[in-house]
Amino acid sequence: MKNKLSVFAKVFLPVLLGSVGGYLYYTLIGCNGNCLITSSPVRSTLYGFFFGLIITDWKSIKSFFIKREKRS
């Protein structure tokens, strides 16, 4: 159970932090007008989401969804 929780945190915590970071970037640094990323809070949050998705540990994601066979 503890192993599943730590893998869950490794997978979803970077995505959540990236989304929050994208929204904070919009509110604190964002511009008015023609900026592509910061012109909308949704777009800025999605960019943060995808950045968090990129930095996740992909080996943990694979082990979270695919059970390994035990060797005897």
Specify the pLDDT at position 60: 64
Which of the 8 DSSP states describes residue 33?
S
The C-alpha atoms of residue 17 and residue 51 are separated, in whole angstroms, by: 10
pLDDT at 6 over 60: yes
> pLDDT for 8-49, tens place per residue?
777 788 889 999 999 998 888 877 777 877 788 898 999 999
Q: Are 1 and 9 contacting, i.e. CB atoms less than 8 angstroms apart? A: no
Specify the pLDDT at position 63: 65
Radius of gyration of the chain (CA): 17
